[in-house]
């Protein structure tokens, strides 16, 4: 695969990750919170199972392809962007996953579930901002001509 194809893959996967994460933070999670705690937890469980593989995949693809592009072209911006998106993976595993697990298992009390959903929303903004930062960095440097 050539450098242009890898650049496209990096930009595309960073864009998908950023837009998916922003959609969740700006639209889906606020709507989830308005449906009530019990239905919010039920929606979280269904949404999480569907979204997690897609978002993790986009982050991993952007990380790997961005580093490879940097190695091929000596353009640091691709690695920085890939690593920025890729940071969402350890952040999710180390910081968000404990909250995810609490929401996914059993039936937390209503007050505990409300606290967990609120915490999750705040933590997810970190993922959204990592994706947005990476995408803006790439868009500021990419020549579309």
Q: Count Cβ atoms within 10 A of the Cβ of residue 123 and give its class: 0-12 exposed, 13-18 middle, 19 or more buried.
A: middle
Whether 113 is covered by a domain: the verdict is yes
Query: What's residue 144's pLDDT?
Result: 62
Give the whole-angstrom CA distance, residue 57 versus residue 62: 9
Whether 134 is covered by a domain: the verdict is yes
**Local confidence band at 106 (pLDDT 50, 70, 90 cut-offs):** confident
Residue range 52-71: mean pLDDT, rounded? 97
Q: Closest by alpha carbon to 6, among 136, 129, 142? A: 142
Query: What's residue 137's pLDDT?
Result: 96
Q: Is the pLDDT of residue 59 over 70?
A: yes
Domain that holds residue 124: 3-140
Whether 145 is covered by a domain: the verdict is no
Whether 61 is covered by a domain: the verdict is yes
Whether 24 is covered by a domain: the verdict is yes
Q: How many domains does the chain have?
A: 1
Whether 124 is covered by a domain: the verdict is yes
> pTM higher than 0.85, yes or no?
yes
Radius of gyration of the chain (CA): 17
Per-state percent for the chain, helix, strand, coil, to nearest 5: 90, 0, 10
CB 65 within 8 A of CB 85: no
Whether 7 is covered by a domain: the verdict is yes
């Amino acid at each position: 695969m050539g450098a242009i194809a890898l650049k496209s893959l990096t930009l595309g996967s960073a864009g998908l990750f950023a837009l998916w994460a922003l959609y969740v933070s700006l639209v889906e999670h606020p709507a989830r919170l308005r449906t009530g705690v019990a239905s919010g937890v039920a929606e979280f469980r269904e949404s999480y199972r569907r979204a997690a593989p897609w978002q993790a995949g986009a982050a991993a693809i952007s990380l790997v392809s961005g580093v490879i592009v940097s190695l091929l072209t000596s353009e640091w911006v691709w690695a920085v962007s890939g690593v920025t998106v890729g940071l969402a993976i350890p952040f999710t595993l180390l910081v968000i996953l404990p909250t995810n697990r609490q929401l996914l298992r059993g039936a937390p009390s209503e007050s505990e579930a409300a606290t967990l959903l609120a915490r999750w929303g705040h933590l997810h903004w970190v993922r959204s901002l990592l994706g947005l930062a990476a995408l803006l960095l790439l868009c500021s440097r990419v020549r579309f001509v």
